[in-house]
Amino acid sequence: MSYNLLKGKRGIIFGALDENSIAWKTAERVHEEGGEFVLTNAPIAMRMGQIKQLAEKTGSEIIPADATNLEELENLVAKAQEILGGKLDFVLHSIGMSVNVRKGKHYTDSNYDWTHKGWDVSAVSFHKTMSVLYKQDAMNEWGSIVALTYMAAQRVFPDYNDMADNKAYLESIARSFGYFFGRDKKVRVNTISQSPTPTTAGQGVKGFDGFISYADKMSPLGNATAEDCAAYTVSLFSDLTKRVTLQNLYNDGGFSNMGVSDAVMDAFTKE
């Protein structure tokens, strides 16, 4: 069902890789709700993914950009405004990567060059993106910026590794930069803390299947899907949430407030 919530709104969507990715589902949903956007991803991710199909489907242009590179971000933001014909109303930051996770390095034995790279891609890229948007005065008043995060920023999930630290840093940037963006430009900045979701990135985490099933059993409403996250993001891009800012918002079926559930207890008492 479409409500035309984003009619006449323009933006940038980072991080659509393939149809499993939350950014991909969000792009489809934003398109359904009448929003226009440019798609962007790192050149290497674009070679791996199917972003061209998404661009065709949503009538969008693609601007490749490495989100850790300020010059490329400056070009992206300037070009996006040219293509879309004005300032932006929404931006989705859906980027995360840990070399330590990818290469199976244990958290207690981090390769710090890899740690630095993952931190730059997953967290500092959000600061860089907002810095460019802010300096170019690229956002319309009451615009909305959203980044995706995960509850490992607050609680221990041992196999999530240094991505937990990256997400904690990302959430802090959203608050700190969000204050200045709100005060000076009337733009809101929030993070969505999503259920574990079987995306290409998510499935790189060890023991992911067991983890999805555990979260599902712990959550009274079950895990939030990528489509659920897309719908929630649309609500944050819309004018219906114009004074929601500096928040870390849980889209997780209730998992974040649970101690234990009957379904999880049953699994243990059967043993």
Collapsing DSSP to helix, strand or coil, 181 comes out as: helix
Q: What is the pLDDT of residue 271?
A: 60
CA distance linking residue 116 with residue 88, whole number of Å = 30
Does 167 appear as a known binding residue? yes
Tens digits of per-residue pLDDT, 165-193? 999 999 999 999 999 999 999 999 999 99
CATH topology (fold) of 10-270: Rossmann fold (3.40.50)
pTM given for the model = 0.97
Q: What is the pLDDT of residue 12?
A: 99
Does 185 appear as a known binding residue? no
From residue 180, give the alpha-carbon distance in Å to each of 62, 77, 111, 187. 29, 19, 34, 9
Does 95 appear as a known binding residue? yes
CA distance linking residue 197 with residue 176, whole number of Å = 27
Q: How many residues does the chain have?
A: 271
Q: CB neighbours of 111 closer than 8 A, spacing ≥ 6? A: 99, 100, 103, 105
Q: CB neighbours of 229 closer than 8 A, spacing ≥ 6? A: 22, 25, 26, 148, 192, 194, 197, 251
Collapsing DSSP to helix, strand or coil, 62 comes out as: strand
Judged by phi (left if over 0) then psi (alpha if -120 to 50, else beta), residue 141 lies in: beta
List average pLDDT for each run of 10 residues in the chain, which is 271 residues long: 96 96 98 98 86 96 97 98 98 97 96 98 98 98 98 95 98 99 98 92 75 95 98 98 98 97 91 60
Tens digits of per-residue pLDDT, 84-133? 999 999 999 999 999 999 999 999 999 999 999 999 999 999 999 999 99
List the catalytic residues: 150, 160
